[in-house]
Chains A and B, each alone.
Chain A
Amino acid sequence: MSTLNWIYLGIVSAGIILAVLRMIIGPDITNRVIGLDVLTTITIALFVFFALIFQRYIYIDVSLVYGLLAFIGVLVIARFIERGF
């Protein structure tokens, strides 16, 4: 059981690393932001997964809140990219 969880975590972490890599290398802000976008989606899934392994139902709410705020955040950033600051 726990091995399975670790493997899952490993795969997802690899994804996180790649996303962060894109955030770092850019080359422009839009590219960085899609890295961020991917990161947030992965994080939502991860939160739910943590709810599973820690057996805490309430973490799902956390993921929902996080997802919502991240979503709006990306929209705001997109707007700022498009129209300038």
Chain B
Amino acid sequence: MIRKITYTIFLSIIVATLILFFVAFPFGKNKMGVGKYYLNNDIKQTGAANVVTAVTLDYRGLDTLGEVTVLFAAAAGVSILFYLIDQDKKKRERQVYPNFIVRVGSRIIFPFILLFGSYIFIHGHLTPGGGFQGGSIIASGFLLLYLAYPGERVNRKKLAVTEGLAGLTFVVFGAIGIFTGAHSFLFNFFPKGTLNMLFSAGILPILYIAIGFKVGSEFAGIIDDMMCQTVCGGEK
């Protein structure tokens, strides 16, 4: 109890300090520095209607590369941790009887989810979506399939190749920029197109599609590992 009170006090101090700090930067007040530059130059420099996408993939594209890398690393870590269980095929054969409604419903919804996921990452430069959201949606479609058909597994080899190729696409398209006149990684060397058209913003849609595939296959891999722990009989 004393512990609880003590740490509540400690944490309150932290919260109080943080609040006092942010009093200087009140909510809703414009704190933009570089952000203003992006808003003003986005159309000219990237051609992406969605400035967030321009920031995500262009100005801060290196972050995004890092982020997909982090996800990749996490997926690899998860599959390392579940590796032995994965080998345990006997347990996997134990199936669960899923809810009929869930099973059939998932089966029917699944194609639409994939379609919708693709829609999201294809329009990443125009709408709030993007590779991550699209990818997660696709992965959630796979999750749905696991709920409907426990015991069945996605083809991990295909997933691995997909994520690898998607990653390579990102890196290679980024690296091309080094060898163009700009000597700059992730330099947007494609024509920018017309604002708000599907074919605009240079390499950004390509990158986002790559990210979509990558995120989708990575999340699907994580889900596969986790579900084989739980659905396929990882329990004691």
Contacts and interface: CB of A to CB of B under 8 A. Distances in A.
Taking the complex as a whole, does A directly touch B, i.e. does some CB pair lie under 8 Å apart? yes
Interface of A: 58-59, 61-62, 64-65, 68-69, 72, 75-76, 78-80, 83-85
Nearest to A65: B133
B136 A69 contact: yes
A68 B235 contact: no
Give the one of B102, B129, B140 with max A CB within 10 A: B140
Contacts, number: 40
Q: Report whether over half of chain B's contact residues are helix, strand or loop; otherwise say mixed.
A: helix
A11 to B, nearest CB: 26
B116 A84 contact: no
Interface of B: 96, 98-99, 102, 106, 113, 116, 120, 123, 127-129, 133, 136-137, 140, 143-144, 147, 230, 235
B235 A76 contact: no
Given A58-B127, A62-B128, A72 B143 contact: yes
Contact of B128 (A58, A69, A72): A58
B128 A68 contact: no
Contacts of B123: 61
Nearest to B142: A72
B143 A61 contact: no
A68 B113 contact: yes
17 contacts: A58-B127, A58-B128, A59-B128, A61-B127, A62-B128, A65-B120, A65-B129, A65-B137, A68-B113, A69-B140, A72-B140, A72-B143, A75-B106, A75-B144, A76-B147, A78-B99, A80-B230
B205 to A, nearest CB: 16
Contact of B235 (A58, A72, A79, A84): A84
Given A58-B128, A69-B136, A64 B147 contact: no
Contact of A75 (B102, B113, B128, B133): B102
